[in-house]
Homo-oligomer: A and B are copies of this chain.
Amino acid sequence: MSKLLIVGTVAFDAIETPFGKTDKILGGAGTYIGLAAEKFGVDSAIVSVVGGDFPQEYLDLFQQKNINTEGLEIVKEGKTFFWSGKYHNDMNTRDTLDTQLNVLADFNPVVPKNYKDAEVVMLGNLHPLVQLSVIEQVENPKLIILDTMNFWMDNTLEDLHKVIAKVDVITINDEEARQLSGEYSLVKAARKISTMGPKYVVIKKGEHGALLFFENEMFFAPALPLEEVFDPTGAGDTFAGGFAGYLTQTNDTSFHNMKNAIIYGSNLASFCVEKFGTERMIDLKSDEIDKRLKVFKSLTQFKIDLN
C-alpha cells in the first residue's frame, strides 16, 4: 500500500456563518487533508503540533480514521493553534477575527521514520520553512504537492520560492495565482508559476471549480452547484486531501490520472461545505461519495463526435 505523508495545521476553529456559529471545534489544514485522504484507504501520517489543551477525543478520531499520529507533536504546556473567522452573506469572502499561533510559532516538524519513504507528500498550508524541512526529511518521494496562501507571499516570499522550486504540484486559489505570477489571465499565471518549479499547477476557484495545468494541456472540474453552502471552511484543504489521497491510492501520477484526482477532490469538497467544520467529512460514507461522482459525471460529460 502506498503511503501519504501530510504536513499541515491541526487547530481549533471558531466559525460564524449566516447559518450560525460554533465554539472551538476541530479544524486545521492537516486535519481536513487527513480526513479527505482517508476515504481512499491509504496509509497516511500527519506531521503537526498541538497543545496540551487538544482533546483526547480528537486524537482518538485520527486513530479511528487510520491517520498515523507519531508525527503529531503534543506540547503539554502549550496551546493549540486557534483561528476564528466570519463569513459574509455570499459565503465567498470572510473576515479573520482572531489568529493565535500558539505552539505553531516554534514548530519543528519531525517526519516519522516509517513515513520517510512515503510515495506522496502533501504539504498543507503552513510556514514555508516548515514545509521545506519536511521535504528535506523525506527520501525520494514520487510526488510532492504544495498548498500555500497569500499570507506567505506577503511575508516570506523568498522562503516560499525555495519550496515552490522543489515541488511537483502547487495548488493555490485564483487570486493567489495572480499575486504570485503578476498575471491576471489564469492561463498566463499558470505558465509563469510552472517556470518556478511545479510541473503541475492547480488553480482553485472556490464555487467556480478548479483548473489543472500541465505543459500545454488544461483540465477543468466544476464545483458541484449546491442548494446550500453551510460552511466553506476546509473546502480547499479537503480538495487537496482528496486529490493527494486518490493519487496515493492509485500510485499513478500521469496527467490522465491527475484529471481524475481533481474530480475526486472536487467531489469531496462538495460534501465538506454541507455542515460546520469537519462534521460532514467524519460521517461521510463511501456509497455517498460514489453516488455523487455519478452526479459529477452527468454534470460534465457530453457526447460530441469529432474527427
Contact = CB atoms under 8 A, between A and B. Distances in A.
Contact of A220 (B184, B185, B260, B300): B300
A218 B299 contact: yes
Interface string A275-307: 000000000000000100111011111111011
Contact of A302 (B90, B259, B295): B259
A264 B260 CA distance: 24
Given A293-B306, A300-B220, A187 B260 contact: no
Chain copies in the assembled complex: 2
Interface residues of A, number: 39
Interface stretch (A69-77, A205-213, A231-239): A205-213
Contacts of A90: 184
A217 B298 contact: yes
Contacts of A129: none
A222 interface: yes
A56 to B, nearest CB: 38
Contacts of A219: 298-300, 302
Interface of A: 89-90, 184-188, 205, 208-209, 211, 217-220, 222, 225-229, 256, 259-260, 263, 290, 293-295, 297-304, 306-307
Given A220-B225, A300-B302, 8 more contacts: A186-B225, A217-B298, A218-B295, A220-B222, A260-B302, A260-B304, A263-B304, A293-B304
